Amino acid sequence: MKILVVDDEADVQPLFTQLFRKEIRKGEVELNFALSGEDALSFLTTGISEVVLILSDINMPGMSGLELLQNIREQHPLAPPLVMMITAYGDPENLQRALDLGADDFLTKPLDFNKLKEKIRNIEYNG
């Protein structure tokens, strides 16, 4: 399963790589990273990717996670990827807006790894 993680914090990359170490080794998961919304969009338009799941932060400089979500929903109406938004604790406004824009699920920071893995497992079974 291809997962695109969008976050302006570069340290998210080693964190996720280490977190999914076993899955990556087994070839169950393939992680891609983008440092901004713009990066994420260009990555998606290269076409080669068949990203199933996008994990995106909301608060990013430039294109925000919400704008990215909006763009994805507009550009990929067919076979849309699942989008999971990562929101900061205690930010009900962004949560509501993400829901309105068509986010599939939410994660709150700090990330609960067990919950994240469980959600991904559910996608694998259902998808």
Partner 1 sequence: MSLFPFLTILFLVQYLNKKLKGSSVYPKWKDIFLIVQFIIVALLVVEAVTSSRPWFNWIWNFLLFVSIGAVLKVHEFRKARPVIVAVLPMFFVALVEDSVKLLNRDFYERWDDYFSAATFFAVVWLLAFVFIIRKQQKAQEQELLRRLAEDAQNRIIAERKAALEIEVQERTGELLAQKEELEKIVLQLQATQTQLVQQEKLASLGELTAGIAHEIQNPLNFVNNFAEVSAELLEELKAGPLQNISESDKEYADEILQDLKQNLSKIVFHGKRADGIVKGMLMHSRTNTGKKEPTDINALADEYLRLSYHGLRAKDKSFNSAMHTDLDPSVGMVEAVPQDIGRVLLNIFNNAFYSVSEKKKIQPETYGPAVWVSSRKIVSENGTEMLELVIRDNGMGIPETVLEKLYQPFFTTKPAGQGTGLGLSISYDIITKGHNGEMKVDSKEGEFAEFTILLPLA
Please work out the total of residues on this chain that contact partner 1, with binding judged by CB under 8 A: 16
Residue closer to partner 1 (CB basis): 90 or 127: 90
The answer to whether 115 contacts partner 1 (rule: CB under 8 A) is no
The answer to whether 109 contacts partner 1 (rule: CB under 8 A) is yes
Q: Between 36 and 75, how does the x/- string for binding to partner 1 read (CB under 8 A)?
A: ----------------------------------------
Question: Rounded to 5 degrees, what angle do the CA atoms 38, 42, 48 make?
Answer: 155
Residue closer to partner 1 (CB basis): 24 or 41: 24
Q: How far is the CB of 113 from partner 1 (least distance, A)?
A: 6
Query: Please, are residues 124 and 116 in contact by the beta-carbon 8 Å criterion?
Result: no
**Strands laid side by side in the 30-34 sheet:** 30-34, 2-6, 53-57, 82-87, 105-108
Whether cis (ω within 30° of 0) applies to the bond prior to 110 is yes
Q: Which stretch binds partner 1 (CB under 8 A): 38-46, 76-84, 86-94, 118-126?
A: 86-94
Query: Please, are residues 58 and 8 in contact by the beta-carbon 8 Å criterion?
Result: no
